[in-house]
Chain A
């Protein structure tokens, strides 16, 4: 399918590579399809885009939190595994969404609400780690880097 993207113009993405979110994301419950995109030649950048597949927005900046934090190990509940029909932890992929404060300048990583992806069927869900002490606003860029807001 062809996606009209926010940053890369029109991009062709194979249907099988589209992530399907049966429940959408928090605050974006009606949006069910996303594609993971990066700019050509930007393969070394741990950050890339999770672009809505149906329209230009929303487009999120995401990263694999496990690649940045050596000690990020969320405890997933059976309900979370069931949400993406996960049969084996080996096929689980995780993404954290970056967000900014209104005043600008600081970029946060939401480690409290990761996106879980079943890499076999591409079914995905955003979850809230109710019982894990990970911050929703870990500062990755700007003043106070490495701390909560």
Chain B
């Protein structure tokens, strides 16, 4: 793995079309700006891991589809309390 040291405001260019800029450093957090072609998927690493493990759980768990037939009497609303991950 290539490891580079960068200061606030400095950039890294990948393959001519991807630009990463360290936009802000504050304590243990770094804000990173990314410019890339629109067709490129950009994800936080832990989100991809969570997606994989949810699918693994989905494939390995036995779900009784008949028991899910009536998820609730009234339609569910996600509303404002929707937790962020």
Residues of B in contact, count (CB < 8 Å): 39
Interface string of B30-58 (1 = CB under 8 A from A): 00000000111111100110111111111
Asked if B14 CB lies within 8 Å of chain A CBs, one says no
A137-B44 Cα distance, complex, nearest whole Å: 18
A47-B69, A68-B71, A98-B58 as given contacts; A130 in contact with B85, CB under 8 Å: no
Instruction: Name the segment of A12-20, A86-94, A100-108, A116-124 touching the other chain.
Output: A100-108
Max chain A Cβ within 10 angstroms of own Cβ: one of B82, B84, B85: B82
Q: Is the CB of A100 within 8 A of B52?
A: no
Q: Which residue of A lies closest to B82 (CB)?
A: A133
Are B54's CB and A113's CB within 8 A?
Answer: yes
Is the Cβ of B84 less than 8 Å from the Cβ of A60? Answer: no
**Chain A interface size, under 10 / 10 to 19 / 20 to 34 / 35 or more:** 35 or more
Q: Which residues of A contact B (CB under 8 A)?
A: 7, 25-28, 39, 42, 44-49, 57-61, 63, 68-72, 77-79, 82, 97-102, 104, 107-108, 110-113, 126, 128, 130, 133-138, 140-141, 145-148
27 A–B contacts, CB within 8 A, in A order:
A7-B65, A26-B48, A26-B51, A26-B55, A28-B55, A28-B59, A45-B68, A60-B55, A69-B76, A69-B77, A71-B78, A77-B38, A79-B39, A79-B40, A98-B58, A98-B63, A98-B68, A99-B57, A100-B61, A101-B57, A110-B54, A112-B47, A128-B43, A133-B82, A136-B50, A136-B51, A138-B78
